[in-house]
Chains A and B, each alone.
Chain A
Amino acid sequence: MHWLKRVRILASLIFFLLTCSLFLDIWYVVPSAWSMGFTGIQVLPALLRTLKIFSVVSVGFIFSVALTLLFGRVYCSTICPLGTFQDFFIHLSRKIDRRKKSKYRKPLTLIHYSFFAVTFILFVAGSPLLLNLFEPFTNFGRVASNVFGFIAIALNNGVSVLLEQFGIFSVYHIPMLRFMAGSMLFALAFAAFIGYLSYTQGRLFCNLLCPAGALLSFLSRYSAFKIRIDEHACKSCRMCENKCKASCIETETKTLDFSSCVGCFNCFDACPTSGMKYEFSWRFKKNVSVDASRRKFFVTLFVPAVGMKMIAESLEKKNDYQINRSHPISPPGSVSVQRFSDLCTACHLCVTACPTQVLAPSFFDYGMAGMLQPKMNYNASYCNYDCIECSHVCPTGALLPLDIAEKKVTQLGRASFIKSDCIVVTKKADCGACSEHCPTKAVHMIPYEGLFLPEVNDDMCIGCGACEHACPVRPNKAIYVVANPVHLKAKKPQEQKPQKVFDSNQDFPF
Chain B
Amino acid sequence: MNRREFMKWSVGAGVVAGTSMVTGYEKLFSSTSKAASLPYHLVAVKGGEPDVMFQKGIEALGGIRAFVKKGQKVVIKPNIGWDVTPERGGNTNPILVAEIVKQCLHAGAKEVYVFDHTCDNWQQCYKHSGMEAAVKNAGGKMAPAHTENYYHDIALPNAKNLKTTKEHELLLESDVFINVPILKNHESTRITISMKNMMGCVWDRRFWHGNDVHQCIADFAGYRKPALNVVDAYYVMKQNGPRGVSTNDVVLMKSQLLSTDIVAIDTAATKLFGENPADVRHIHIAAENKVGRMDIENLNIKRISV
Binding site for B on A (CB under 8 A): 28, 161, 164, 167, 169, 172-175, 355-356, 381, 384-387, 423, 427, 429-433, 435-441, 444-445, 452, 470, 472-473, 493, 495-505, 507-510
Closest Cβ–Cβ distance, residue A47 to chain B (whole Å)? 34
- A507 CA / B120 CA spacing, docked (Å): 36
- A161 CA / B148 CA spacing, docked (Å): 12
- A238 CA / B207 CA spacing, docked (Å): 72
Give the contacts of B157-204 with A (CB-CB under 8 A): 186-189
User: Does B271 interact with chain A (Cβ within 8 Å)?
Assistant: yes
- A508 CA / B46 CA spacing, docked (Å): 9
User: Does B35 interact with chain A (Cβ within 8 Å)?
Assistant: no
Q: List 11 A-B contacts (CB under 8 A).
A: A172-B146, A173-B149, A384-B83, A384-B120, A385-B120, A386-B124, A427-B211, A429-B212, A436-B243, A495-B248, A497-B248
Q: Interface readout for B295-306 with A: 1 if CB under 8 Å, 0 if not?
A: 011000101010
- A497 CA / B251 CA spacing, docked (Å): 9
Contact of A355 with B206 at beta-carbon distance under 8 Å, contacts A173-B149, A500-B251, A510-B296 already known: no
Q: Interface readout for B239-276 with A: 1 if CB under 8 Å, 0 if not?
A: 11011011011011111000000000001100111100
Most buried by A among B121, B242, B305: B121
User: Does B278 interact with chain A (Cβ within 8 Å)?
Assistant: no
Contact B187 A173 (CB under 8 A): no
Select from chain B the residue with minimum beta-carbon distance to A498: B238
Query: Main SS of the interface on chain A?
Result: loop
Contact of A441 with B207 at beta-carbon distance under 8 Å, contacts A173-B144, A504-B255 already known: no
Give the contacts of B205-227 with A (CB-CB under 8 A): 205-207, 209-215
Interfacial chain B residues near A470, Cβ < 8 Å: 119, 206, 209
Contact of A436 with B46 at beta-carbon distance under 8 Å, contacts A355-B123, A431-B213 already known: no
Contact B209 A433 (CB under 8 A): yes
> Contact check: which of A173, A432, A441, A508 meets B188 at CB < 8 Å?
A432
Contact B124 A387 (CB under 8 A): yes
User: Does B111 interact with chain A (Cβ within 8 Å)?
Assistant: yes
- 10 extra A-B contacts, CB within 8 A, seeds A430-B212, A431-B210: A164-B150, A173-B146, A429-B212, A430-B213, A472-B209, A498-B251, A501-B251, A502-B273, A504-B255, A508-B46
Interfacial chain B residues near A444, Cβ < 8 Å: 187, 240
- Inter-chain contact count A-B, CB under 8 Å? 148
Contact A385 B83 (CB under 8 A): yes
- A505 CA / B188 CA spacing, docked (Å): 30
Contact B187 A504 (CB under 8 A): no
Closest Cβ–Cβ distance, residue B22 to chain A (whole Å)? 13
Interfacial chain B residues near A498, Cβ < 8 Å: 238-239, 248-249, 251
Interfacial chain B residues near A430, Cβ < 8 Å: 188-189, 212-214, 281
Interfacial chain B residues near A441, Cβ < 8 Å: 240, 245
Contact A472 B245 (CB under 8 A): no
Interface size of B in residues (CB-CB distance below 8 Å): 60
- A500 CA / B272 CA spacing, docked (Å): 11
User: Does B47 interact with chain A (Cβ within 8 Å)?
Assistant: yes
Closest Cβ–Cβ distance, residue B234 to chain A (whole Å)? 10
Select from chain B the residue with minimum beta-carbon distance to A427: B212
Contact of A386 with B248 at beta-carbon distance under 8 Å, contacts A169-B144, A510-B272 already known: no
Contact B188 A431 (CB under 8 A): yes
Closest Cβ–Cβ distance, residue B144 to chain A (whole Å)? 4
Interfacial chain A residues near B47, Cβ < 8 Å: 504-505
User: Does B2 interact with chain A (Cβ within 8 Å)?
Assistant: no
Most buried by A among B44, B212, B214: B212
- A507 CA / B209 CA spacing, docked (Å): 36
Contact B251 A429 (CB under 8 A): no
> Contact check: which of B123, B142, B243 meets A438 at CB < 8 Å?
B243
- A435 CA / B209 CA spacing, docked (Å): 12
> Contact check: which of B44, B111, B252 meets A503 at CB < 8 Å?
B252
> Contact check: which of B146, B213, B249 meets A432 at CB < 8 Å?
B213
Interfacial chain A residues near B205, Cβ < 8 Å: 433
Select from chain B the residue with minimum beta-carbon distance to A424: B188
Closest Cβ–Cβ distance, residue B199 to chain A (whole Å)? 10
- A452 CA / B189 CA spacing, docked (Å): 9
Contact B147 A175 (CB under 8 A): yes
Closest Cβ–Cβ distance, residue A92 to chain B (whole Å)? 37
Closest Cβ–Cβ distance, residue A228 to chain B (whole Å)? 55
Most buried by A among B147, B188, B215, B301: B188
> Contact check: which of B187, B215, B267 meets A452 at CB < 8 Å?
B187
Query: When A and B form their complex, which 6 residue pairs have the shortest distance between CB atoms, in order from nearest?
Result: A432-B188, A501-B274, A498-B238, A472-B210, A472-B206, A429-B212
